[in-house]
Amino acid sequence: MNKKMLGTIAGLGLVASSMLGGIAYADKGMGQANLSEQNAQAIAQKAHPGASILNVEQEKEAGKVIFSVDLADQTQKYEVTINSVDGKILQDKAEKLAYRSSVLVQEAAGQELNDQEESKLLLSLTKINLTDAINNALTAFPGQVVKAELEEEDGQLIYSVDVLTSAGLQEVVVDPGNGKVLYNELESADKEDTDIQDNDSQDNDSHDQDTEQSSNEQGDQEDDDDQD
C-alpha cells in the first residue's frame, strides 16, 4: 500500500484552505524543463478525462527530466510519466482501485508537516469521527476491534478498522466523508492454519534432528566403551 507524508488535502465536496494550495513539485537541480507542472497536469488529465490529480513530481530518470503524475477516477489509479522537454507521454500505468473514498489527498508544494500538523489537517477534513467509523464497521461485521486508525492510502483518506469476528480477522475500510463501509477483506483462516502447521512441522523436524543426533552420539559412546 502507498502511504506518504501529506501536504494539501482536498476531498469531493471538501475545500482545503487556500494557504495549503498547490500540487507537489520537486525541483532539486535537475535541469531546465520546458513544461510547467500545470502543463504536465493538463497532459495527464487529457489522457484520463475526469480523473483527479493526486500528486505531481519532477524527477530524473534514465538521464531524462520527467514529470510523474498520479491521478485517480472512480475505478482506477493512474501513473503517467511525461517528458518535461517535449510533453510526450513516456509511460501510462493503470491500477484498479479496490474502493473509492469521497476524500482525496494531495501533496502541497514545498510544504512539510510534522506528525501533529498532519493529524490535525486530516481530522479537519473528516465528516465522521473514529468512534462512528468503528461503530459502522461493527454494524457490518460484529466482533472485537483490534485496531482502528485514520490513514492515507493510494491518494485516498480512509478509516482502517481491523475487527476480530467469529469467521476471522476482517479488515474494514470506512469512508471518513460519509461513513460508508467501502471495502472489507477476511484474512484467510486456511493461511493461519497453514502457518501453524508449518511452524509445527519445523518444530517436529527440529525435534527429530535432535533425537537422531542424540541417538548417534549415544551409539558412538557405546562403541567407545566396547573398544575399551
Segment 112-130, tens digit of pLDDT: 667 787 788 888 889 999 9
Q: Is residue 198 part of a domain?
A: no
- Answer for the pair 175, 157: CB distance below 8 angstroms, yes or no: no
Give the least confident one: 113-127, 181-195, 214-228: 214-228
Mean pLDDT of the chain: 77
Query: What element of type H or E holds 186?
Result: strand 181-186
Which residue has better confidence, 227 or 164?
A: 164
Give the least confident one: 19-23, 34-38, 207-211: 19-23
Residues 119 and 21 in one domain: yes
Residues 97 and 157 in one domain: no
- Answer for the pair 81, 47: CB distance below 8 angstroms, yes or no: no
Whether residue 220 has pLDDT greater than 60 = no
Which residue has better confidence, 100 or 197?
A: 100
Its domain, for residue 79, covers 9-124
pLDDT at 39: 94
User: Cα separation of 136 and 126, whole Å?
Assistant: 15
Joined grid coordinates for residue 25: 513539485
Whether residue 218 has pLDDT greater than 80 = no
Most confident of 61-65, 124-128, 132-136, 199-203: 132-136
Question: Is the overall model pTM greater than 0.85, yes or no?
Answer: no
pLDDT at 182: 96
Going by C-alpha positions, the residue among 103, 95, 117 that lies closest to residue 155 is 103
Domain boundary at 124, 140, 171, which?
124
Joined grid coordinates for residue 185: 477483506
| Residue 37 β-bridge partners | none
Q: Sorting pLDDT into bands at 50, 70 and 90, what band is 108?
A: low
Residues 62 and 141 in one domain: no
